[in-house]
Amino acid sequence: MTTTQRWGTPEREDPERETRLPGARQPGSGPPGSGPPVGVDEVLARMRALEAALPAEDGVAVFNRVYLTVTEAVAGRLGDGAFADPAAAGELDVRFARRYFAAVDAAAAGRRPPACWRPLFQLRRHPGVHPLQFALAGINAHIGHDLALAVLDTCRALDCEPPALEGDFDRIGAVLTGLEERIRESLMPGPDLLDIADPLTHLAGSWSLEMARDAAWAAARMLWGARRLPEVAEEFTERLDASVGLVGRCLLTPLN
């Protein structure tokens, strides 16, 4: 995790290759979060397959390497007593990952991924975007939009309400927060190349993981409360998707 090579990657010229990667959802298997979870081990296998298949400089690969590191850390703690309910934490981890895989599969098949993911897929090869920007844009899309919906997916699957997941939601967040500084340091140029006025330094400091996680939890609670008002929930979800996508677009502003 100490080198830039450990994190990062662009879209394949052969989209069919991505759709054949381990863990890809097959046509007709239902929307993200439906059906049984594939399991944390299979999530890791899919991420590793993506890492092997994508060029290291691809923006999606950059995010995938970051996400793989976080998922490996969570998986390592599922069996060591770190979570109050390891089964529920694993369920949330898997259903969260499946929303990322759904975006990858949509882009590989020539379909439009959710608005929150579009900037990353559209700019994944842009030479003026720094690897740290790709990582932040992916984290922004996944936490800002997907995490709230994954909480709902998990609640439905386990027949529980969001408060039952809150403790382990925070514990998973603590794993990510603990890795955040290492992620930033591994992707930032050396201090001799940056100063306080550098645009990348300014951009990296403009997005907060903690605030994104807090907003995701609030969105999950709101959507759970509105589950009997489908039109309200749908409109809120669409606006959340669009607003997170706008933030992603800003994070990916070319700096060169």
64, pLDDT greater than 50: yes
**Could you give the CA distance from residue 251 to residue 246 in angstroms, rounded to a whole number?**
9
**What is the tens place of the pLDDT at every residue in 82-140?**
999 999 999 999 999 999 999 999 999 999 999 999 999 999 999 999 999 999 999 99
Phi, psi (degrees; rounded to nearest 5) at 5: -65, -25
DSSP 8-state assignment for residue 220: H
The pLDDT > 90 percentage for the chain reads 69
What value does the mean pLDDT of the chain take?
84
Q: How far apart are CA 247 and CA 5, in angstroms?
A: 26
Q: Are 107 and 50 in contact (CB under 8 A)?
A: no
Q: Where are the beta strands (DSSP E) in the chain?
A: none
Task: Tell me which residue has tokens 């003026």.
Answer: 128
pLDDT of residue 183: 82
**Burial class of 252 by CB neighbour count within 10 A (0 to 12, 13 to 18, 19+):** buried
How far apart (Å, rounded) are the C-alpha atoms in residues 203 and 132? 10
